[in-house]
Amino acid sequence: MTEQRNPVDQHPTPDFPSQDQPHPGWTGPMDPPPDHGEDSYRGSGRLTDRTAVITGGDSGIGRAVALAFAREGADVVFTYLESEKDDAAETARWVEEAGRRAVPVACDVREEENCRALIDRAVSEFGRIDILVNNAAYQMSQPDGIEAISTEQFDRVLRTNLYGMFWLCKMALPHMREGGSIINSASVQAYKPSPHLLDYATTKGAIVTFTQGLAQMVIDRGIRVNAVAPGPVWTPLIPATLPDTTEFGKQAPIGRPAQPSEMAPAYVFLASQEASYITAEIVNATGGTPLP
């Protein structure tokens, strides 16, 4: 049985050591190290013999979801960028230690053909897709305002966060059976945008709308579409994109950032048959910040 604890001090609280990394960031140098559920997540067969495709599965929320899905009985195809291959190998190891197949795929979701190749690979390996998790994301703090956001930067954020999701949903759906589940990673930024993350927040708001619209479009096929909207989460994206990490997450009512392991159960629930009546919903996991 999982020990009952006070969530306020269950994981490290700010202030954190000052740290920065080049984009996209890596798990190893982070202090404190993120918790993906390696020592805590216990599966119960909720996703037995399912096939899941997870973008951005090398680290952070994506790794925690891959680990949890595997311990629930799913095989996992996940994407990573070439510069993240060491983190990807670690995710694959955890999936395989759970007794499931791991298929890491180097894939930049900004390109349509890369997304097509990812879906083709998943189908060639497993014959179908049961769960699609659109989790890959790009952000970069822009403290100097909209004038400092270049067209190149804006395009990169939209192509990573929106275009990739659109293409993958479109391409995966023909290979999904009744009972399939699509889960998109939204954010508290969709509802409470930080000025220095204007472009990123814009995409997260669009993800909410896309999720609710697509859910209505495909429910007659027996496929559910939902999203998770995390608050601040301690992942490599943070030291790689924010100028100051020392007080990261302190603004949340709970007083700290989430660990990736605290997000994964929401994805497991939405992917499972236990969520059969839940579609077009946004699960808010914000550490106490009220959202609509």
Q: Is-catalytic flag, 200?
A: yes
> Residue 78: beta bridge partners?
54, 104
Euclidean distance between CA atoms 130 and 136, whole angstroms:
18
AA identity, residue 182? I
The alpha carbon dihedral of 51, 56, 58, 60 has a sign of negative
Distances (CA, A) of 248 to 18, 125, 231, 255: 10, 40, 11, 9
> Alpha-carbon Rg of the chain, whole angstroms?
18
Of 41, 80, 138, 200, the active-site residue reads: 200
Which amino acids are annotated catalytic? Answer: 200
